[in-house]
Amino acid sequence: MKKTIAGTHSGTGWWLAQRISALILLLAGAGLLLGFWSAYPFDYSQWHSAFQQTFVRLLVWLVVASLCLHAWIGLRDVLMDYVKPVAIRLLLNVLVTLTLVLCVMWATAILWGGNGQANI
Amino acid sequence: MKFSLYRYQPDSGQQPAMQEVELAIDPAGKMLLDALIELKAHDDTLAFRRSCREGVCGSDAVNVNGRNVLACITPLSGLKEPIEIRPLPGLPIIRDFVVDMEPFFRQYKSIKPWLVNEDPEPERERLQLPEERAELEGAYECILCGCCTTSCPSFWWHPDKFVGPAGLLQAWRFIADSRDQATEERLDYLEDTYRLYRCRGIMNCVESCPKGLNPTEAIGRIKSLLVKRKV
């Protein structure tokens, strides 16, 4: 069969997600950078106590998650444009998805994992 | 003036090649099309399309020094030598500067470029308020020359799936028309990762449009409607 297959009736959701994650990255990322900048130079204990605050952890997590979501949509677009064989595209898509999901899970483990809690 | 022309004659059996030509022509007050006609007078194997020679019919779109332009409204004096003329990118080449516009018009056709109105036909015409008519400004003037769509990388990658800026501008033209009743269906068709959302907003279309239209803005308006419908 040699028909053009299109018409998923989706796209608006992903487009919105990309825009919103970009906005979060810009605002939360800039907020974090400014916060670190204003506190600079800081030693280990300051760094440590900053990450004891829930809102710092949430903000960092939000930035990591937004970055991964943004990257997922962007890489999916790149793969759609350049990788035509469906099987290879699916494989690469799965690899990208797994990597990014693991990144978010890893960030979660770093932020809320045992090491951070040790001194409470 | 020095010209570098893309030559391809499929019946000659030879590969496409650039041909360097020098032409004695005074550029003052002349358009590129005048030079092309002059070049053809010297070598009648040179093939290109033209018709109205005043930027209305849209048939003489070519790629000149890397930009898509209409030869008939591009002043010769403003072009850097050697003037490199190629066919529009991203479409199959039939001969020299003549491209097969079929993929372009297939996408144009896909957005149903006609008014859909199920109401009984009125005695005279379907009326619009002046402000309803004003909605069509910047959307109806498209002459379908293909300059925008063939300058769009997303169309180069997906000519079969991405509607392209010209088609999307026309889709907006009918969505925006107060007399058209098929907005839902039109949005349904465009709500797709390829047909509309291959547009990444790089605005090559805006830069290349010889009529000064803004397909990116029209695409943005369609996206706004899609978002409004969704959330």
Least confident of A80-94, A103-117, B111-125, B179-193: A103-117
**What are the structural domains of chain B?**
2-99 (3.10.20.30), 102-230 (1.10.1060.10)
**What are the structural domains of chain A?**
13-115 (1.20.1300.10)
Q: Which residues of A touch B191 (CB under 8 A)?
A: 9-12
Cβ atoms of B88 and B146 within 8 Å: the answer is: yes
Residue-wise pLDDT for B207-225, tens only, equals 999 999 999 999 999 999 9
Q: Which of A9, A12, A79, A86 to mutate to test the interface with B (most CBs of B within 10 A)?
A: A12
User: Residue A96: which region, alpha, beta or left (left: phi > 0; alpha: psi -120 to 50)?
Assistant: alpha
Q: How many CB pairs under 8 A join A and B?
A: 48
What CA–CA distance (Å, rounded) separates B95 from B11? 9
pLDDT of residue B99: 97
Percent of chain B with pLDDT over 90: 98
A11 vs B157, B160, B196: nearest CB: B196
A12 vs B157, B161, B227: nearest CB: B227
Cβ atoms of B63 and B39 within 8 Å: the answer is: no
Strands B83-86 vs B2-7: parallel, antiparallel or unpaired: parallel
Token match 């391809």: residue? B8
Q: What is the mean pLDDT of residues B46-65?
A: 95
What CA–CA distance (Å, rounded) separates A109 from A16? 28
- Token output for B122: 């009125």
Q: Is the ipTM reported for this complex over the cut 0.85? A: no
pLDDT of residue A114: 66
* CB contact (8 A) between residue A11 and residue B161: no
Query: What separation, in Å, do the N-terminal and C-terminal C-alpha atoms of chain A show?
Result: 64
For residue B107, the number of C-alpha atoms closer than 13 Å in the C-beta half-sphere is 28
Q: Which residues of B touch A16 (CB under 8 A)?
A: 227, 230-231
DSSP B63: E
What CA–CA distance (Å, rounded) separates B103 from B109? 10
Residue-wise pLDDT for A8-18, tens only, equals 888 999 999 99
What CA–CA distance (Å, rounded) separates B213 from B219? 12
Q: Which residues of A touch B (CB under 8 A)?
A: 4, 6-16, 77, 80-82
* CB contact (8 A) between residue A81 and residue B196: no
What CA–CA distance (Å, rounded) separates B44 from B36? 11
* CB contact (8 A) between residue A15 and residue B223: yes
